Structure 1
């Protein structure tokens, strides 16, 4: 179930970079678009959980929801949406692939644990794999705004990493609350903050939303990107660890490339194939300890005298 949900999340997130770019290119204001996306998605999910009696409105009064929303939604997507006005979706994907390494470093520092060599190597290998995968079709237009856009995405990944690690603590603190409700609450806060930012820095114009591409982009990001993808992400944090679900940033570009080849006949270069293999190797290395645990659980346990137990 964990791996099925992980692949579904990667499939959804693999298309969100392009969906964001489509909406922005159609003229939709970036901060207002992001705020509307997350506020609506969070509100729909939270209302559903309240109706199902799996959440109460008192959850919205907890500071943990505000802090998670500020890091995981506001800080991450305010920077990403702004940056994609000046960057290609490929560059944004490559820069975002630094997040798993940031998560690993932050988690190790906070827990005061010794950094796993194979996990660190896996993050670096995965990042290299994303670069190799996207390199053949990469376009770069150097300018001052391009550089600022790159820095903006990296700052967003710092917020994302902090929010991911903090989310793990929040999930443990609210063990009796569904991860879906926790995700919905933080999206409502993050979306509200993005809309507030939009009121100060963007002109409010409904004209761009009348364009079919902008409207479809928003609907897809609400229902697929936020309600489905982010809910699975939060669920995976609860079930595994902060680093594992963050590796979607390695897999999603690979899925996007494969879909382009299968649906549109886009060519795949040898370099991209090497990049795909490198990504898989990096993910295996990052999650080596977890994979060993899963494999050991699958072995038959023997307790009879003279027989060794599975480790």
Structure 2
């Protein structure tokens, strides 16, 4: 059951990038649709947890929820949704996979620990991968908006890194609160901020809801991407350990690349494919020590740990 859910989670997270692209291309305002997605998903999940008596309104009044929402939802997805106006879903997914690199660099800077040789090699390979990904926009179409989109996704991963590091502190502070409740609360805060951003920057014409593609994308992202995907993620954390489910970051970007090319006729240059593979290899090398520890345990099924972005 664990591996079935893991496969489903990777598939869900791999398809969300294409769903975002489909919705935006169908006329959905980026910030507005992102805000509706996360606020609605957070609200429904929070209501379910409250019905199970595993959530109370007092948690919504804590500043930690707002800070986590700014980092893990608002900063990450405001940039991602904006960028997918100009990027293919596959490229956006691969660039989003640099999150572990950002987390490692931030943790290293805060703790002032020295990086291993494999980590430095992974950073270098990952950087080369990002350069290769940027090449098509610089050499083929010379599109500055394309490059700006790539930079925006990378900038969003800085928010994710800060949120991931901070959320570990939050999870320790609120040990008695379900991780699903904490995630629901931060999604609500992030959704509200996205809607406020939309109010000041976008002209929302509700005609986009007349498009079946935009409506399907919004419903899919809300109920399958945000609610089902994240629920499976936290279930896997509880049943295995924090590392195992996080390895979706090595698999889902390649799924997103393949789906974008096969189902949405997105262009894929050889340099972009090489860059994507280089980024994944770099991330694996950065996390080589942790992955070896996971392999040494033979299987996460035998070592269930308590949940800890």
TM exceeds 0.5? yes
Cα distance in structure 2, aligned partners of 1:263 and 1:25: 14
* CA deviation map 1:229-252 (0-9, x unaligned): 3344566778426x982x544421
Q: Does the CA contact (< 8 Å) of 1:118 and 1:285 recur in 2?
A: yes
Alpha-carbon contact 2:97-2:249 (below 8 Å) kept = yes
Please give the TM-score of this superposition, normalised by the length of structure 2: 0.79
User: Matches of residues 296-311 of structure 1 in structure 2 within 5 Å?
Assistant: 296-298=296-298
Q: CA deviation at 1:9?
A: 3.1
Q: How far apart are the structure 1 equivalents of 2:196 and 2:149?
A: 21
Q: 1:130 to 1:235 in 2, by over 3 A?
A: farther
Q: How far apart, in 2, do the equivalents of 1:13 and 1:193 lie?
A: 23
- Give the deviation of 1:74 after TM superposition: 0.6
Question: CA 1:260–1:146 in 2, change beyond 3 Å: closer, same or farther?
Answer: closer
User: Alignment partner of 2:32: what SS?
Assistant: helix
Contact 1:38 1:222 in 2 (8 A): yes
Distance 1:185 1:231 in 2: 14
Secondary structure of the structure 1 residue equivalent to 2:38 = helix
Could you say which residue in structure 2 is the equivalent of 1:99?
Answer: 99
Change beyond 3 A, Cα 1:294–1:39: same
How far, CA to CA, are the matches of 1:259 and 1:81 in structure 2?
Answer: 18
Alignment of 1:138-157 (within 5 A): 141-157=141-157
Q: Give the equivalent residue in structure 2 for 1:83.
A: 83
Q: Secondary structure at the match of 2:194?
A: helix
Deviation of 1:149 (Å): 2.3
Larger radius of gyration: 1
From the superposition, tell whether residues 158 and 224 of structure 1 become closer, same or farther in structure 2 (CA, over 3 Å): same
Separation in 1 of the partners of 2:80 and 2:160? 11
Which position in structure 2 is the counterpart of 1:179?
Answer: 179
Structure 1 equivalent of residue 63 of structure 2: 63
Residue of structure 2 equivalent to 1:285? 285
User: Any stretches of 5+ residues in structure 1 without a counterpart?
Assistant: 300-311
Aligned to 1:198: 198
2:134, 2:147 within 8 Å by CA — same for their partners in 1?
no
Quote the RMSD (CA, aligned, Å). 3.8
Aligned to 2:212: 212
CA shift digits 1:17-48 (9 cap, x unpaired): 11111001100111000000000001111111
Matched residues in 2 for 1:8 and 1:128: separation? 31
User: How far apart are residue 297 of structure 1 and its match?
Assistant: 3.9
Question: Once the 2 structures are TM-superposed, how far is the Cα of residue 133 of structure 1 from its aligned partner?
Answer: 9.8
- Aligned partners of 2:132 and 2:275 also within 8 Å: yes
CA distance in 1, matches of 2:8, 2:127: 21
Q: Secondary structure at the match of 1:44?
A: helix
Is the deviation greater in 177-186 or in 156-165? 156-165
* 1:135-168 Cα deviation digits (max 9, x unpaired): 99xx964333333323222221111111122122
Deviation per CA, 1:69-126, whole angstroms, max 9, x where unpaired? 0011111111111121122223323432332211111122223333233244345546
2:242 aligned residue:
240
Whole-angstrom distance in 1 between the partners of 2:230 and 2:70: 15
Aligned equivalents of 2:124, 2:7: Cα separation in 1: 21
In the alignment of these two chains, the number of paired residues is 297
Identify which range, 271-280 or 98-107, moves more after superposition: 271-280
Q: Contact 1:100/1:123 (CA < 8 Å) preserved in 2?
A: no
Q: Determine the C-alpha separation between the residues in 1 that align with 2:236 and 2:135.
A: 30
State the 1:16 CA deviation.
1.2
Aligned to 1:117: 117
Q: Measure the CA separation in 1 of the matches of 2:228 and 2:131.
A: 27
Contact 1:179 1:235 in 2 (8 A): no
